[in-house]
Structure formats: structure tokens, C-alpha cells
Amino acid sequence: MKPIFANAVRLTLIAGTAITLFFGCGGDADVATKADGLEITRVGFVRRLPRMAVIRWKTSALSAGVVRYGFHPDSLDIEVKSGPAAREHRVTLEPLAHKTKYFYQITVNDRDGNQSASNIGELVTPMGRRMARIETDYGDITLELFGDIAPGHVTNFADLARSGFYNGTTFHRVIPGFMIQGGDPNSRDKIRSNDGRGGPGYTQPAEISAPHLRGSLAAARTSNPEKRSSGSQFYICVAAQPGLDEAGYTVFGQIVSGLDVVDRIASARRDGNDNPYEKIKVNDIRMID
């Protein structure tokens, strides 16, 4: 735990994945806050990953905000805006380097012209994780796998990949702006009506933790109380899907390169079941570790 002081506002940094960073006020800070009319009341990391960090904060009034970050506290030259005016905000910082220290600062403005800024915080990304490369007819997609937060899914995915289980399967469901789905052994045959119904004969226990961002790799599932995942079917998000966070699906990886390939696959001509007319094959999935 490391207290950092700036502008009469205290920020205590606690490592972890929960929302565990808090602004606290004392002494003259209360007067300054009232004079400004706008206060950042809570800040926290939803998730820190090697390639990204998801930060959430709250304000005392409706506000728009921006996060600036960089490698040195005097040069926060990368900027991410939080979106429309709100009291709760969430932004993604990416792409980040593995095991690297970054500095960041949040600035917010309300409709009355009041402005408030956090002190400069520190963010250290963790070490890189296991990698996989999906080789498709449209190009390669390289993924980082989250073995620390979804070890069962990552181990299962790696075992199936090494066995050749995915070779010759297709992306049997593609929806622009939403996701592309694959991993069904039924998709190898010429019967389109059974695509999306197959698997290895077992399911995976849920490991719900990471959010659905653009490029997230997640496990498909049917409706079930335990939210168990399909044993083999997976999908890749074309755009962030907070609704899937709420529904409870396991995210177990993130694209490092090949988002353009995902976009091209998502744009393929498809039938009424969102199955591409021309098969888009997974030629191989190779583990890089």
C-alpha cells in the first residue's frame, strides 16, 4: 500500500482486481471540494492485464472525464475520454506493455464548468501469459490467454488445440458489431442445421471475472443455472459487450493481433442463422508457450 498526496487530496493505492482505490478528504480538502463543486469520490481497477487496464471512477455530480497516461508522470501524453456525462465512468487503457509501470491522472468537468483532477497514480501491468494463434482462411489471430483468472478454460482450450480438435472447424455464427463464434466439431460436415450444437461431450465450470472488451476471447454456453461453459465453443467480441458481463460468460483471453481478421470474418455474407454461406475454416490453433 502506497499513499500518494497531491492537491490536498489523498489517494491510497492497493493492488488487486477489485475496486480498492479510494479518495479520502481531510482538513482543508473539504473546503476545497465544496468550493470546486465537483469531487472524484472513488477510483479503482476493475482489471489489470498485460495488454490493458480497465479503470472505473465515480464523481459527486454528472461529469465527463478523461484519463491521461504515459511512462512518466511529467508526460501523460496518451488520452482516453470516458464518454457522455455521468456519475460513474469506466475506461480501458490499451495497448499496454507487459510488466511495465505507467502513470495516469483523471480529470473531470461538470456542466457548470467545474473541474476536478485526481493525483497522479501508478499502474504496473503483470507478466505476459500463455499465447495462442488461430490460423484461419482470412488470416491469423493471436491471443493472450488468462491462465491466472480462468485456468480451467485456458488448460482445456490448450489441450483441445494441441490435439487438433479445432482443425477444420468453422466460424459458424458471425454477427457484425457483436461477435464471431467457432469451436463446434459439427461445423466440419455439410449439414448446416447442426452447427452450434456440438462439443467434446462435457462442459466447463464458470470462471467469470474479466470484462467483454473488443477482442475478448470467451466461452460460449447454453442457459444453465451454474453458467457452465461449452467444452469447446468460443467466441471473439467484435466490440465491447457489457451486456454479456451482466449475463455471466467466462472471458479467458484477449486478442494481441488480428482484430482486422475478426472484422473481416464478422462481415462475411451469412444466412438467417448468421452462419456464413462460405465456410470460414479454422485451419489450426497453435499454442505459443
Spatial distance between the Cα atoms of 215 and 241, rounded to a whole number of angstroms = 10
19: enclosing H helix or E strand:
none
Spatial distance between the Cα atoms of 245 and 62, rounded to a whole number of angstroms = 24
Domain 131-288 is found in CATH 2.40.100.10 = yes
Question: What does the DSSP 8-state code read for residue 269?
Answer: -
pLDDT value, residue 230: 97
C-alpha cell at 42: 472513488
State pLDDT tens for residues 30-70: 222 333 568 888 888 776 776 788 899 999 889 999 999 99
Spatial distance between the Cα atoms of 249 and 112, rounded to a whole number of angstroms = 40
pLDDT value, residue 222: 94
Mean pLDDT estimate for the chain = 84
How many Cα atoms sit within 13 Å of 70 on the Cβ side? 9
Q: Are 106 and 96 in contact (CB under 8 A)?
A: no
Q: Are 211 and 248 in contact (CB under 8 A)?
A: no
Which CATH number among 3.40.449.10, 2.60.40.10, 3.40.30.10, 3.40.50.450 corresponds to the domain 2-124? 2.60.40.10
Spatial distance between the Cα atoms of 199 and 232, rounded to a whole number of angstroms = 6
Which string of DSSP letters, residue by residue, matches 146-175? Answer: -TTT-HHHHHHHHHHHHHTTTTT-B--EEE
pLDDT value, residue 13: 24
CATH 2.60.40.10 occupies which residues in the chain?
2-124
Environment class of residue 285 by beta-carbon count within 10 Å: exposed (0-12), middle (13-18) or buried (19+)? buried
State pLDDT tens for residues 166-184: 999 999 999 999 999 999 9
pLDDT value, residue 8: 23
In the predicted model, what is the mean pLDDT of residues 174-202? 96
CATH 2.40.100.10 occupies which residues in the chain?
131-288
